Chains A and B, each alone.
Chain A
Amino acid sequence: ELRPLYMDFQATTPMDPRVLDAMLPFQVNYYGNPHSRTHAYGWESETAMETARKQVADLIGADPREIIFTSGATESNNMAIKGVARFYQAKKRHVITTQTEHKCVLDSCRILEAEGFEVTYLPVQNNGLLDLQLLEASIRPETSLVSVMTVNNEIGVKQPIKEIGQICRSKGVFLHTDAAQAVGKIPISVSDWKVDLMSISGHKIYGPKGVGALYVQRRPRVRLEPLQNGGGQERGLRSGTVPTPLAVGLGAACSISQKEMEYDHQRVSMLANRLVQKIMSEIPDVVMNGDPEQRYPGCINLSFAYVEGESLLMALKDVALSSGSACTSASLEPSYVLRAIGADEDLAHSSIRFGIGRFTTEQEVDYTAEKCIQHVRRLREMSPLWEMVQEGIDLKSIKWTQH
């Protein structure tokens, strides 16, 4: 039974065997509710949960009391944006975010707009980075929150969160960052960066699916209105039994990532260079979307001119890839992130995202590159647009007739 090569590490990641090993006892034997105060089942479960909390905190340079377990980065983003905005709504009714954020951030902002808040969606430059002067100019006295993701899941661009944090702290505005794609992959220090809220996702860092965390700063304190009410677990900010096996898995994933960060980063950079060099040296008219320097190397978004992205994906059936993020792949519209960085409509349709991770091998990268080159050539041979370009016709000058 054959299965495709997995090159979609931004969509999700396989669990590290060490994470599974840490979780299994809690799935089978140590099944107590960590909030049960009266017996050993509860105590051992609680100890495991608190150990995990410390592991998550250590990875981002936070205090364990500042980590809240959630069901994932989507819930963390919802909590942060809606929670903070609603708590401070008496005096502050303005929120700032960017056009390249994850759908859950944009959707939460849309809901806030329906509640009467004003939201500014900042544009990004052609390289995907935020213009810091524009951000500074957009902050008003009634702004309560700025939300900018650390590493973009579609184009891999890394925002200057440290500088953004500086600006926000000086203006007295909270900074939230969706760090789902960054945690465990690049060094993060929430105190250094002056970040007030950070979303973490388990299944992006070789941990289990269904768990994440939200970092909520205690000094200076960030208040937020809880989304989920109940027994007051997790400092009252997120009621509900903390799923011990999942929390343990997240903690283990964070602790492993901290140890392996340098090794993984070197290896992923090497493999990413290998892939891009191979492809770009063999076929012309390939564009890498997003800043070439300010990026996480493991997320490569390439646009192949004169080739339709979906047909290339179908052709590369032996490799699991995606064009655009998993949440938007059901629709046929080109990704809004590519549109935000000013990619031409036709290039936006031709983009493929290659994800490289801890378990990727040189063989997989070479195979992917070869197949990509082969199929791009084949599809271009079939393309009348390519023919016209070869003859020297400028496609932009053509007036297409309507039928």
Chain B
Amino acid sequence: MAASTRSQVISLYKMMLKESSRFPSYNYRTYALRRVRDAFRANREVEDPKAVERLMEEGEQMLALIQRQVAHFVPITTAASRPIPEENGDSSPSRVYEMFGFMKVFLGL
């Protein structure tokens, strides 16, 4: 089996970020994006091909997990939510909280 090339690693990274951004929940979404980024960053210097292979496998599994989880929730995302309005209208970043109904997930399964 060919060792993972740089482009394969980057491709996995991009896919993981793309899937992570599909979490409807603000907290899960920001966590997934941050954690994926930090994990890839932390392992940037790893050279040993076996270690790289193992990390790639873990990454693939995590990607599949994220895909499974967002597949449940994206179809039942409620209508787009407004950010919490700022009383003095300053430019604080918006915090978007959407509801996701667990009951709908299990009924839909």
Contact = CB atoms under 8 A, between A and B. Distances in A.
Interface of A: 1-6, 14, 17-18, 20-21, 27-28, 263, 318, 358-361, 363-364, 366-367, 370
A17 B95 contact: no
Nearest to A18: B65
Contact of B28 (A28, A359, A366): A359
B82 A2 contact: yes
Given A3-B97, A17-B65, A358 B92 contact: no
Residue picked from A2, A6, A20, A28, most chain B C-beta under 10 Å: A2
**Which of B31, B93, B109 has its CB near the most chain A CB atoms (within 10 A)?**
B31
Contacts of A20: 69
B81 A17 contact: no
Given A21-B65, A21-B68, A363 B99 contact: no
Contacts of A318: 84
B95 A364 contact: yes
- The 10 tightest CB contacts between A and B, nearest first, are A359-B27, A3-B97, A17-B69, A359-B31, A21-B65, A361-B30, A1-B99, A363-B93, A17-B28, A318-B84
A28 B109 contact: yes
B95 A14 contact: no
Contacts of A3: 97, 99
A71 to B, nearest CB: 20
B89 to A, nearest CB: 14
B36 interface: no
22 contacts: A1-B78, A1-B98, A1-B99, A2-B81, A2-B84, A2-B97, A3-B97, A3-B99, A4-B97, A14-B28, A17-B32, A17-B65, A18-B65, A27-B106, A318-B84, A359-B28, A361-B26, A361-B27, A363-B92, A364-B95, A366-B92, A367-B95
Nearest to B79: A1
Given A1-B97, A1-B99, A2-B84, 16 more contacts: A1-B78, A2-B81, A2-B82, A2-B97, A3-B97, A5-B95, A27-B106, A28-B109, A263-B38, A359-B27, A359-B30, A361-B27, A363-B93, A367-B84, A367-B92, A367-B95
Nearest to A5: B95
Nearest to A370: B92
A248 B14 CA distance: 31
A370 B93 CA distance: 13
A2 B27 CA distance: 14
Interface string B66-85: 10110000000010011010
Nearest to A14: B27
Interface in B35-73: 35, 38, 65-66, 68-69
Contact of A21 (B69, B98, B99): B69
Contacts of B69: 17, 20-21
Interface string B1-45: 000000000000000000000010011101110010010000000
A98 B107 CA distance: 47
A27 B30 CA distance: 27
A310 B74 CA distance: 37
Nearest to A361: B30
Contacts of A370: 92
Contacts of A366: 92
A360 B31 CA distance: 8
B81 A1 contact: yes
Contacts of A4: 97
Given A17-B65, A367-B92, A6 B27 contact: yes
A358 B31 contact: yes
B69 to A, nearest CB: 5
A317 B23 CA distance: 25
Contacts of A361: 26-27, 30
A77 to B, nearest CB: 29
A34 to B, nearest CB: 22
A4 B95 CA distance: 10
B25 to A, nearest CB: 8
Contacts of B35: 263
A367 B90 CA distance: 12
Contacts of A363: 92-93, 95
Contacts of A27: 106
Nearest to A27: B106
B65 to A, nearest CB: 5
Contacts of B38: 263
B55 to A, nearest CB: 13
Nearest to A366: B92
Contacts of B30: 359, 361
